Amino acid sequence: MLKRTVLALSLFTTIGAAHSANQDEIRKLLTERMPGAQLGAITKAPYGGLYEVVLNGLNVFYTDENANVAIIGKVIDLKTNKDLVEARTQELQHVDFASLPLDKAIVKVKGNGSRKVAVFSDPECPFCQELEKELAKVSDVTIYTFLFPLVEIHPDAERKAKLVWCAEDRAKAWDELMLQGKEPTASEKPCEVPFQAIQEIAKKAWISGTPGLVFADGKLVPGVIKSFQIERNLGASQPKAAAVQSKN
């Protein structure tokens, strides 16, 4: 029986016959039954005889010891009223801000620039363009933009990203492209673009789409958010960022 825990299931799928299994066997069975899924850590959960499975780096689901079912939904600790899945997901959606190669980003300082956020963005992504309009409303922030063209869906994105990176004033070129639709003039000087390094960082952080925001406290927020949400996340990350700076 589950103790102090309720499983509110949004999906309950039977995926195979029963087999007695440890973590390695569970991984083998899930790999066979969920082709294409990127399975991360598999650990014994402290309730219900279940195992927690990290999926695609940022999400979790639960299965039994025989990998017969996939349980996706809320797991509520009734003693604390805490959603254990949500808490675990927030842990997974974390990027070490200090590890980001900021020298490979377009840097824009607004106001005193005291707050910091990194953005992985594609110049042809309409959602990225929406985000830029929201970022334009935020002051006292340093924005590090990593050019992350998704050429599979935006074939011309890499060309535009290179024009921006090779421009004399990258921040200005980026703003004009994203907010005004004005392409930078092609540079005649040799210019090396850091796309490969950025792709590697994005892969490690499980950032596969754009836009993706990383705040100073390491919180990863995928997709477009409004300016008030950006402000809220900047405010939440500020004390931790200041504490780190004070230690240094």
Same domain, 111 and 31: no
Residue that terminates a domain, selected from 92, 113, 144:
92
Q: Domain range for residue 231?
A: 97-247
Q: How many domains does the chain have?
A: 2
Q: What is the largest CA-CA distance in the chain?
A: 70
* Predicted local distance difference test score (pLDDT) of residue 242: 43
For 66-87, the pLDDT digits (tens) are: 889 888 888 888 888 888 887 7
Within 8 A by CB and 6+ apart from 11, the residues are 70, 71, 72, 73
Q: Which residue has the tokens 């899930």?
A: 30
* Predicted local distance difference test score (pLDDT) of residue 238: 66
| The pLDDT of residue 16 is above 90 | no
What does the pLDDT average to over 144-162? 96
Average of per-residue pLDDT values in the chain: 84
* Predicted local distance difference test score (pLDDT) of residue 84: 81
d(CA 110, CA 231): 14
Global pTM? 0.70
Same domain, 88 and 185: no
Phi, psi for 73 (deg, rounded to 5): 160, -155
Most confident of 42-56, 74-88, 105-119: 105-119
Q: Where are the alpha helices (DSSP H) in the chain?
A: 23-33, 84-92, 126-135, 157-165, 170-180, 195-204, 227-247
Residue that terminates a domain, selected from 74, 92, 110:
92
Same domain, 104 and 64: no
Which of 72-76, 165-169, 231-235 bottoms out in mean pLDDT, i.e. has the lowest? 72-76
| The pLDDT of residue 217 is above 50 | yes
